């Protein structure tokens, strides 16, 4: 599971574009988005690097979010 902060994701249309971009490299990817925090959770076989590159190329540069230490 990967979590990313996507600052440019401001609406449902943006989330749709982000989802389509990720599914272009992994059609089986599961994406959940939170527009309030502008974060997405991605379950994918693609590497974090590939996901970040794809998001950037789609116009939605993202940053990995580190899991909270518990």
CATH number of the domain within which 47 lies: 3.30.70.100
Distance in angstroms (rounded) separating the CA atoms of residues 3 and 8: 15
User: In percent, how much of the chain has pLDDT > 90?
Assistant: 91
pLDDT in tens, 7-33: 999 999 999 999 999 999 999 999 999
Instruction: Say if 70 falls within a structural domain.
Output: no
pLDDT over 90 (residue 66) = no
Helices (H), the chain: 12-25, 48-57
Distance in angstroms (rounded) separating the CA atoms of residues 21 and 33: 14
Q: Could you tell me the pTM of the whole model? A: 0.87
Task: Give the total number of structural domains in the chain.
Answer: 1
Instruction: Say if 18 falls within a structural domain.
Output: yes
What domain range includes position 48? Answer: 2-64
């Amino acid at each position: 599971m990967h979590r990313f902060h996507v600052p440019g994701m401001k609406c449902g249309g943006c989330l749709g574009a982000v989802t389509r971009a990720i599914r272009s490299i992994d059609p089986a990817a599961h994406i959940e988005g939170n527009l309030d925090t502008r974060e997405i959770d991605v379950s994918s076989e693609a590497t974090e690097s590939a996901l970040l590159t794809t998001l950037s190329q789609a116009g939605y540069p993202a940053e990995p979010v580190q899991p909270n230490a518990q």
